Amino acid sequence: MSVSESSLREDIVRAMQALDARGLNRGTSGNVSARFAGGMLITPSGVVASALTPGSIVHMPLEREPEDEGLRPSSEWRMHGGLYRARADCGAVVHCHSRHATILACAGRGIPPIHYMVGVSGRASVPLAPYAPFGSDELAGLVVEAMDGGFACLMANHGQITIGRTVARALAVAEEMEEQAAIYWGTLAIGGPTLLDEGQMAEIFRRFGGYGQKR
């Protein structure tokens, strides 16, 4: 196994365990993948985060299930594969049922421009992909469509999904989306948010361009 493959497998295990430890996911729900060697490395179906090992991560093609006798991939492999095929800039995918993102998704809401950190999603607001059953081709298509040019979307009556160049980045976006979902949910409880306007969000994206350490 190459160094890059083993470190990606470790990144995926660490991300699943971080989601669990930070209360963003529970049990066997949620899944994480990384693009690798023309296909992807993805969490197996039905294994709790604490029991995952780098060796239990499944290597598979983007468009069909693996034929070997090993562990089955996550039942959501179609939406992971669809995102890699649609987005050349997608190196990793994180999907989870974090509580506040799921509350909004079950109420038929995305996240509007309530705070500048919504911009971490790559857009001024986070869209909601329409409902389709988990694991279906239909859901994969709806998620790819809703993701469009952004890095995050909510999934109706289900949860949230994020992408990034790396597993760490997709995980960071998922954590921020949960925080923004919680803030939006909180504002709805006290009369609703005051939204940022288009010009204010455009200014935020200009500032994001110069944000962070220069070296």
User: Catalytic site residues?
Assistant: 76
Cβ burial of 38 (10 Å; 0-12, 13-18, 19+) is exposed
Compute the CA torsion angle 184, 189, 190, 196 (nearest 10 deg).
20
Query: From the CB of residue 214, how many other CB atoms can be counted at a distance below 10 Å?
Result: 4
Q: Which is nearer to Zn ion, 77 or 151 (CB)?
A: 77
Please give the angle made by the CA atoms of 135, 136 and 138, to the nearest 5 degrees.
140
Q: Which is nearer to Zn ion, 159 or 164 (CB)?
A: 159
* Smallest gap from residue 134 Cβ to Zn ion (A): 5
Pick from 157, 148, 62: nearest CA to 106 = 157
Per-residue x/- marks for Zn ion, 103-142, CB under 5 A? ----------------------------------------
Q: Which is nearer to Zn ion, 114 or 167 (CB)?
A: 167
Count of residues that interact with Zn ion, criterion CB under 5 A: 1
Quick one: tokens of 3? 């160094």
Question: Which of 49-57, 122-130, 155-163, 185-193 is the region at the interface with Zn ion (rule: CB under 5 A)?
Answer: 155-163
* Smallest gap from residue 124 Cβ to Zn ion (A): 26
The DSSP 8-state label assigned to residue 96 in this structure reads: E
Q: Which residues are at the interface with Zn ion (CB under 5 A)? A: 159
